[in-house]
Amino acid sequence: MNLFCTNGLINKNLAVHIDVTNEKSWNGNTEFSVISLNQWTNTISSNINLLDWGLTAFDNGRTNEMWSGINFTPDDTLLTLYRIGYNEINNPTPEEFSGISITTNFGEIQDMGDGGGLYFNLNGGYLQGFFKLDGYNYELLPPRYGKGITIETMLYLYEESQGIFYMMGVRAEDKYNPYYSGEFISGDTNSGINTSEDNYLESFEAIEQNKKAIILPEEGKEIIYQEVAQINNLKNNAIAFEITSEKRIKYKYIDENGLLVQNTSESEITNTGFTLISITFTPNNDLLTEKELKCEPQRLGTLIFYVNGRLFWKIKNFPEFYFREIINDKEKQIGVPYSISWGGGSFGLKHSWHYDEQTYNIYYGQTTEYINSNFVIDDDEEYPSDDLILTADNTTFIDDEGLPITVMRIEFTGSTEKHDYLIDFDVPVTTLSNRDYVINASIYNNGFFNNLGENKITIYVYPEEDDGEIFIIDEIIHEGQLNDWIDISTTFRLPENVGKKEVIIGIKIESTVPYNTNAPIFIKYLTYTGADILVQDERKQDLFIEQNFDNSFIGGIQKLRIYDNAFNSTEVLHNAIIESNGNSLFQVNKGGRIIYR
């Protein structure tokens, strides 16, 4: 490269250029998100509807709706980093039906400015984003660098500055391996919450093996499924760079055996204020073709750290770092591998959440006041109706210990010959798509029906919005049996991938003849069950990433540049001098003129 003609920063092979002093890279948004000023030469982006986005984006604060999606277009070609956060959850109780309350918290970031321009001052907060989606047409950076890589970041150092300032690779273990019982049920058949690709929330690796006994040669193979060891997704798949409390530079990565490898420089950074850290990895041999990049074994090379354009630390025979997907369906790992953290590392699955089942009590022994406040009788044209009387009854039934049971009493007044009634629970129930809901009731018929007719009691459900849909999966009805508690149920689900919707639940009473008076129907309980609360899986706490990379930089970040080739020392110094020319608080000892060659 002829640097003699280059008056600015080197732009050849420049894949990411983030500069918070430039309003096009950071426009003062309160979320502190930043966007690259340029794109990688071979960027790929297309129209993508990531319906399962919230399954993983919820865990680092990118969304506060785990059931949400996101869209990308061919114009989304610039790497964007976002302020990391975590969600606090307040689940509804079994007596509440309004859904989950969520609060998103963020680590502390402040925008600072002086003679050297704006920078972000970090105290627990940092930025994170992803540069590739496995299985989708989306790649803003290569996962492997044929001619090496250069990472430059302008930091602002204080006396107390320390922590990880840059991390690349996988941000966490696989959240859905092992599966959480509230999301996935295994028996004779598989059921549970499914993704938009119709996969369940669990992780198994498909392994082809020889059958133990075969008849025909073409039948000699079979596919088995086994759980994936968490560490297998991390091996050679994460690297981080940090500054220690002694102002030394440190690297750490997970090696091919799943072990943490780390080393610290002997030299210390002596200056404070704006400081340019340049990191280059030069492989011992280049890979020039796509096949080589995918198939060639890991290379060795030279890792060099420069501080303010000058050689600081050189490590020979350093293993090449490049990145890969995790072993799971593509929609359950969105944004987890191929991740970049700037100003921090990653907290792994510390703030991850899973769905779990809960049973909600629409009616379970409440008072007449509760019944009159929450249930309405809808007989179509005559809404509301006084043909039925609803009360709480605590004198008719007792439990096994001889104590009274409070039940809902439904009695016909005989004022009309209406044969069909809907008793609505008049509080909309919040439900989520891609899972089954089961409504249960226990009914006692004390002679309410005239046995000359065809009689039945069913649980019904319909969307609160007129244009919505509900799919009934299974139904057990009451056929008018006398003097016995009969359990009935309805299993339903929303249309796939619609997210959150509200529905109305109730009881439908039907007959072909008029009802009897003074012979009530009783309801012991009316409940529904669904996997729609959020809980944390204790098995996924304090795992490898959280233990070793949950670390934020204390200090300032201002600029980040990534090149898909390795700079030589002259190129590193050139960019440092260009930075020095534009920042009176950042000066480089040029040590004589640069020799261009």
Nearest CA-CA partner of 275 in 158, 118, 164: 158
The SS3 call for residue 8 is coil
Please give the angle made by the CA atoms of 282, 287 and 290, to the nearest 5 degrees.
135
Q: Which two tokens stand for residue 446?
A: 């004390």
Phi-psi region of 331 (alpha: psi -120 to 50; beta: other; left: phi over 0): alpha
Task: Give the tens place of pLDDT for each residue, 322-369.
Answer: 999 999 999 999 999 999 999 999 999 999 999 999 999 999 999 999
Rg (CA), the chain: 32
CA 527/CA 304 separation, integer angstroms? 64
* All residues at 6 or more sequence positions from 161 whose CB lies less than 8 Å from its CB, including other chains: 155, 243, 247, 272, 553, 554, 555
CATH of 357-535, one of 3.40.50.1820, 2.60.120.260, 1.10.3370.10, 3.50.50.60: 2.60.120.260
* All residues at 6 or more sequence positions from 238 whose CB lies less than 8 Å from its CB, including other chains: 167, 168, 169, 170, 253, 254, 545, 549
Could you please report the per-residue DSSP string of 299-319?
PEEEEEEEETTEEEEEEEEEE
Beta-ladder partners of 391? 409
Torsions phi, psi of 207, nearest 5?
Answer: -120, 125
180 by Cβ neighbours in 10 Å (0-12 / 13-18 / 19+) ranks as buried
Q: Which residues of 510-521 are buried (b: 16+ CB within 10 A; e: fewer)?
A: bbeebbbeeebb
Write down the CATH number for the domain with range 3-171+236-353+539-581. Answer: 2.60.120.200
Please give the angle made by the CA atoms of 479, 485 and 488, to the nearest 5 degrees.
55
Task: Give the tens place of pLDDT for each residue, 194-241.
Answer: 999 998 887 666 566 565 554 555 566 666 667 788 899 999 999 999
List the chain domain ranges.
3-171+236-353+539-581, 184-226, 357-535
Phi-psi region of 137 (alpha: psi -120 to 50; beta: other; left: phi over 0): beta
Contact assessment for residue 309 and residue 48, using Cβ atoms and an 8 Å cutoff: no
Q: Which two tokens stand for residue 63?
A: 């969304």
Cα→Cα distances 242→400, 563, 574, Å:
66, 20, 24
Cα→Cα distances 366→391, 394, 408, 430, 442, Å:
10, 10, 8, 21, 15
Contact assessment for residue 131 and residue 338, using Cβ atoms and an 8 Å cutoff: yes
Q: Which two tokens stand for residue 225?
A: 């499924």
CA 301/CA 320 separation, integer angstroms? 7
Fold agreement between 3-171+236-353+539-581 and 357-535 = yes
Please give the angle made by the CA atoms of 502, 506 and 512, to the nearest 5 degrees.
140
Contact assessment for residue 202 and residue 515, using Cβ atoms and an 8 Å cutoff: no
CA 486/CA 475 separation, integer angstroms? 13
Nearest CA-CA partner of 572 in 149, 40, 152: 152
Low-confidence stretches of the chain (pLDDT beneath 50): 187-189, 214, 382-384, 592-597
**pTM to 2 decimal places:** 0.91
**Total Cβ atoms within 10 A of residue 414:** 12
| Entry field: residues in the chain | 597
pLDDT of residue 479: 93
